[in-house]
Chain A
Amino acid sequence: MFNEKESYSIYVCGVGGQGIIKTSVIIGEAAMNEGYEVVLSEIHGMSQRGGVVSTELKIGDYKSSIIEEAEADVILGFEPIEAVRGLKKANKNTKIIFNTLPIIPSTLSQSNQNYPEIARIIAILNDNYKHVFPIEGEKLAKDAGSLLSLNMVLLGSAIANDTFPLSKEAVIKAMKNNLNERFHDMNLKAIENGYNAVKSNVN
């Protein structure tokens, strides 16, 4: 299901501690196991101190792991405003999948800034992009067994759209290779929850 350039680019963004890098590694490993070329760029640094974390994943014949502006096939936002910040990588056809629960920056009151209303963000995104999927990630993660499975909910959401090039089985196999066996059942449920949330939204 590659685009005309025989490639697929995923921009994953959010806040430190949300499991963004692990999610990206799982997709990357799944791509490798399916026989694709794949590169991933990670920005670590100050992530544990409340900063922004993003990764850029490119499947296909690429040498560079940086997605060009407006060239992402999927924006996977773990947090609403971080998804908006990632839009420089989006075009009208990009699938914009994001968790709707805000993580309010702790510096908000010092900086005299406001956090935009979620409903307004969703409305503006829908006005400007064709494929917008707000996901109630925390709710679906809790349903799967723990808030800690949030990243697997979003992973499930990312692979549910009909352009995603990797099989669900390959992604699940890579998940099992990367996460503690004790939590496989919970994480499987989380992937299903996220997957179904997008599928039901599409139909």
Chain B
Amino acid sequence: MDLKQLVKGKSGDKLFLLGNEAAVRGAIEAGVSISSTYPGTPSSEIGNILSLIAKDAGMFFEFSINEKVAMEVAASSAASGLRSFVFMKHVGLNVASDSFVSAVYTGVNGGMVVLVADDPSIHSSQNEQDTRNYARLANLPFLEPSNPQEVKDMMKYGFELSEKFNIPVLLRTTTRISHMRGIVELGEISSKNLSNNNKNNNNNTNSNSNTNNTSSDSNSNSNDENKCHWEKAYFEKDQKQFVPVPANALTMHKELVCKIKNIESVANESDLNEVYKFNKNSNLKLGVIASGGAFNYAYDIVNQDNLEMDILKLGFSYPFGRDRIFDFVKDLDGVFVVEEVDPIMEKEILAVLGKNNLDIPVFGKLNGIFPLIYEFTPDIIRNSFNKVLNNIDSTGKIEKEELYKKLKSMGTSVDIDCYEKPVENDFSQKIDSSISEEIANLMDELPNRPPTLCAGCSHRSTYFGVKKAAEELGIAEEDLIFSSDIGCYTLGISPPYKTADYLLSMGASIGNACGFSAATNQRIISFIGDSTFFHGGIPPLVNAVHNKHRFVLTVLDNRTTAMTGGQPHPGLPVDGMGDLAPEISIEKIAIAAGCEFVKTINPINLRKTVDTYKKALEFDGVAVIIAKYPCTLIKGQKKKNPMEIIQDKCNQCLDCVNTLACPAISTKDEQVIIDEGICKGCGTCLQMCNEKAIKVKIQ
């Protein structure tokens, strides 16, 4: 599919869209003017797409330096009366939370939607925190789509809701929604969101805006304000609304509490909270309350297994529509709560039952029916339903009273181990039906395929150089702490490098190094990527110098945000919309922060790398090494000749195989070989081979 379809597609067209693509279309249909993000899986594709089509969509888009700044860009844009869209992964909201919570206090004039993508089962994150907790912490409306169509529709609805109550709206996806593809029927695009060169007649209702009706050629990269491709607004000052000094903030909090109370009536009536009828004539009335991706599994299992249980799906799940919940549960004999990850709705439902003096068993995570960790699967849901349903005799032989007692006792028991691994990985249970012992054995012996640093990745050369320098200085492995950060280089955790001993969050490698420096007499080397350095590395670097800590900081500058797919960052001469932009120098930042040892190296030059690290490790203070070499995944790089082994000289020491662990080098038939299809020709192996048995292959 041509991504331009997201802009050009007409109302009624059907496209097969990724959840993240649907979010982009939703933003376009809603007439978003300002969008911002810091890339993070599973939300990254939204930014990748916007960077390509923002101009066609009449939208400003930036890759902000971090999520907090992205949040601030969106908040002040919305305060100015424009619709703004900010998106990030779940842990990004931690970074943004300070401004996020205050933006909910101040409220907005234009609509503002904050999309946060959770990662249950931790496909590519450092935790599986549940963003629904933030809806409660910050007190703002919360939407949970279950498929790409709903992502698009709820984006649009989110902006309407946001403007109606002057409050930001939080929209939560999970990996399985962001990376789910489904059929999406497109809707109308808001007239103000047609790019200027498509605009014949600007119907903008914002009287203070100085929007330009430029009719042609507005897609040029001109800085001329009159040719700007997105709508501009006019910020009307109102200190009582926008400046939360204590006196104002107390008033804001009061207003916020009132808003949320009013929005709860909207949630109670919302058709995003919908009942799916499955109970035809079962005497025993069980029900299911589910949200987001978890709803999909619950629906499929109830449908396929002919379980006669009605399902209440909550798409608008905060403020929690308590009247709606009460209506649904009041006549039930028991209710399953199906939610990923924390038992949040379950607690809300228990509160509704308690307040109404209803004695109905609730089957959720608190009593071990559903696991407290992991994303769900249809198999997990079936297994969890069966923990209860297997106790029911559908022939009606059991008196309802007795059954009710039994269900109630189950509903409050905590004896089921909810930490056990989900049933999906337990082949033994299904051996008879699907997996034979022979197949199970074959599966057991399969080699793993962990992600590794790519062939030609300069991080490998840096890590090799660091280890060599420590060895030459006689520093024992346990005396050298590697403080790591979030990026591809975290893969250094694996042998043979083992260059990750402590990791918390974006930018933490430097702050953690400060702590290790104060707390221990061990040597410390921290590793941080270029994009991560800009994101969260600058304040801790200033801290390190000012507080006289001692460690070696390595900025692994591979000229891109590699881990999330190669987005630009402030160290590059290009911005999020592909325009030229000032390039910020990491070296100059380090010097300005007061670092007295700042060296930029090409890590592929091994001898220089080793020598620089040796000097840095001896330096009394914060030594900064910028290891600068482009990521091999950056497109359009000149292809280099691959390496080859000179078999006559190779003495099979296997140092290259075992200490470099390059995907291109392996052993086959008692020989070391280099796969020229994989080799990027970086030449690191050529330099480290003591026998000089590796050379450039002449083609």
Binding site for B on A (CB under 8 A): 5, 15, 25, 28-29, 32, 37-46, 48-52, 61-66, 68-70, 81-82, 84-85, 87-88, 90-92, 104-111, 113-116, 121, 124, 127-128, 177-178
The answer on a CB contact under 8 Å between B179 and A69 is: no
Q: Please state if B295 and A45 are interface contacts (CB–CB under 8 Å).
A: no
Which segment of B153-161, B391-399, B439-447, B552-560 sits at the interface? B439-447
Residue of A nearest to B295 (CB): A63
A44 and B434 contact, CB distance less than 8 A: no
The interface residues of chain A lying within 8 Å CB-to-CB of B442 are 84, 116, 121, 124
Question: For A40, what are the chain B residues with a Cβ–Cβ distance below 8 Å?
Answer: 16, 180-182
List B contacts of A88 (CB < 8 A): 424, 427, 434-435, 443
Docked complex Cα distance between A51 and B454 (Å): 11
* Most chain B CB within a 10 A radius of its CB, from A29, A45, A50, A64: A64
Give the number of chain B interface residues (Cβ < 8 Å): 64
Asked if B496 and A110 make an inter-chain contact with CB atoms under 8 angstroms apart, the answer reads yes
The 3 closest A-B pairs by CB, nearest first: A106-B663, A46-B451, A64-B296
A25 to B667, CA, bound (A): 37
Whole-angstrom distance between the alpha carbons of A69 and B176 in the complex? Answer: 17
- Alpha-carbon separation in the docked complex, A64 to B293 (Å): 8
- Contact in complex: B661, A107 (CB < 8 Å): yes
Partner of A39, one of B181, B445, B447: B181
- Would B446 and A50 count as touching, CB distance under 8 A? no
* Interface flag for B14 (CB, 8 Å): yes
List the B side residues contacting A87 at CB < 8 Å: 434-435, 439, 443
- One of B99-107, B297-305, B357-365 contacting the partner: B297-305
Interface set, chain B 283-332, CB cutoff 8 A to A: 293, 295-297, 299-300, 303-304
Contacts of A116 in B (CB 8 A): 442, 445-446
Shortest distance from the beta carbon of A28 to any chain B beta carbon, whole Å = 5
B180 in complex: contacting residue of A25, A52, A65, A121, CB < 8 Å: A65
| Residues in A whose Cβ lies below 8 Å from that of B438 | 124, 127-128
Q: Is the CB of A68 within 8 A of B443?
A: no
Indicate the member of B181, B304, B424 with the most A CB atoms within 10 Å.
Answer: B181
Q: Give A96 Cβ to nearest chain B Cβ, in Å.
A: 11
- Tell whether, in the assembled complex, residue A38 and residue B16 are in contact, meaning their CB atoms are under 8 Å apart: yes
Tell which of B16, B18, B439 has the most Cβ of chain A within 10 Å: B16
Q: A66-B378, A114-B447 are in contact. Are A39 and B454 (CB under 8 A)?
A: no
Residue of B nearest to A125 (CB): B439
- Of chain B, the residue at the smallest CB distance from A147 is B677
B447 touches A111 (CB 8 A): yes
Chain B residues, Cβ within 8 Å of A68: 377-379, 382
* CB under 8 Å from chain A, chain B span 79-115: none
In this complex, the member of B14, B124, B179, B488 whose beta carbon has the largest number of chain A beta carbons within 10 angstroms is: B179
Check if A5 sits within 8 Å of B304, measured CB to CB.
yes
Given known pairs A69-B424, A104-B666, the reply for A113 and B181 (CB within 8 Å) is no
Further contacts, 14 of them, CB under 8 A, given A32-B14, A45-B123, A84-B443: A29-B1, A32-B16, A41-B176, A42-B179, A43-B179, A84-B446, A106-B452, A109-B658, A110-B494, A110-B658, A110-B661, A113-B447, A113-B448, A124-B438
Residues B666 and A49 in contact, CB atoms below 8 Å apart: no
User: Does any Cβ of A come within 8 Å of B240's Cβ?
Assistant: no
Q: Is B443 within 8 A of A85, CB to CB?
A: yes
Chain A nearest CB, measured from B316 CB (Å): 18
Please measure, in the bound complex, the distance between the C-alpha atom of A38 and the C-alpha atom of B149, giving whole angstroms.
12
CA distance A46 to B487 in the complex (A): 11
Contacts of A15 in B (CB 8 A): 449
> Which of A45, A48, A65 sits near B633, CB closer than 8 Å?
A48
Known: A48-B633, A52-B449, A104-B666. Contact between A39 and B182, CB under 8 A? Answer: yes
Q: With a CB–CB cut-off of 8 A, which chain A residues contact B31?
A: none
B447 touches A105 (CB 8 A): yes
Q: List the B side residues contacting A82 at CB < 8 Å.
A: 449
Contact of A50 with B183 at beta-carbon distance under 8 Å, contacts A66-B377, A69-B434 already known: no
User: Do B41 and A44 have beta carbons less than 8 Å apart?
Assistant: yes
- Say whether B434 contacts A90, CB under 8 Å: yes
- Contact: A107 with B124, CB < 8 Å? no
Is residue B430 within 8 Å, beta carbon to beta carbon, of the partner chain? yes
Would you mind naming 21 contact pairs between A and B with Cβ atoms under 8 Å apart? A15-B449, A25-B181, A38-B16, A39-B180, A41-B179, A42-B180, A43-B175, A43-B179, A51-B449, A61-B303, A63-B147, A63-B299, A70-B435, A84-B446, A88-B434, A91-B434, A105-B449, A106-B664, A108-B447, A124-B438, A128-B438
CB distance from A137 to the nearest CB of B (A): 16
- A88 CA to B430 CA in the complex, in Å? 9
Instruction: Judge if B135 is at the interface, Cβ distance under 8 Å.
Output: no
How many angstroms from the CA of A177 to the CA of B15 in the assembled complex?
12
Which chain B residues border A90 with CB–CB below 8 Å?
434
Instruction: Tell whether, in the assembled complex, residue A38 and residue B1 are in contact, meaning their CB atoms are under 8 Å apart.
Output: no
B58 located at the interface, meaning its Cβ lies under 8 Å from any Cβ of chain A in the complex: no
B572 near A: Cβ within 8 Å? Answer: no
CA distance A90 to B434 in the complex (A): 7
Compute how far the CA of A111 lies from the CA of B446 in the bound complex, rounded to whole angstroms. 11
- Chain A residue nearest in CB terms to B294: A64
Contact partners of A5 in chain B: CB under 8 A: 304
Q: Are A25 and B454 in contact (CB under 8 A)?
A: no
Provide the residues of chain B in CB contact with A111, threshold 8 Å: 447-448
